[in-house]
Amino acid sequence: MNWQVYIILCSDSSLYTGITTDPARRLRQHATGRGAKYFHGRRPEQLLYLETGHTRSSAGRREAEIKRLTRAGKCLLTETERNEASLFSKNSG
């Protein structure tokens, strides 16, 4: 199964990092309050980063690496060629 790591910009300008096998479904879950408790009191605004091609194990490790980054580091990551968020937006919308 193809696991993916993502970063979402939230309504309070915070950044949320997670993993999924289905980004569209997971974004809907977050938007409707059925995802992580982190989204209670804040809304997902935009998918900023999507990295594909992981196993469950490697996605979890990569998520942990990203969560250790500073906000500036996460923002820089969104500008790298590994970011497939723009491709996701074109294919899902």
- Distance between CA atoms of 62 and 68, rounded to whole angstroms? 10
Average pLDDT over the chain reads 91
For β-strands 44-54 and 3-10, DSSP reports them as antiparallel
Where would I find the beta strands (DSSP E) of 1-93? 3-10, 15-20, 44-54
Confidence (pLDDT) at 35: 82
pLDDT band at 33 (very low <50, low <70, confident <90, very high): confident
Confidence (pLDDT) at 56: 98
The full set of domain ranges for the chain reads 3-92
pLDDT band at 91 (very low <50, low <70, confident <90, very high): low
CATH superfamily of 3-92: GIY-YIG endonuclease (3.40.1440.10)
Chain segment 52-65, per-residue pLDDT in tens: 999 999 999 999 99
Given a cut of 90, is residue 34 above it in pLDDT? no
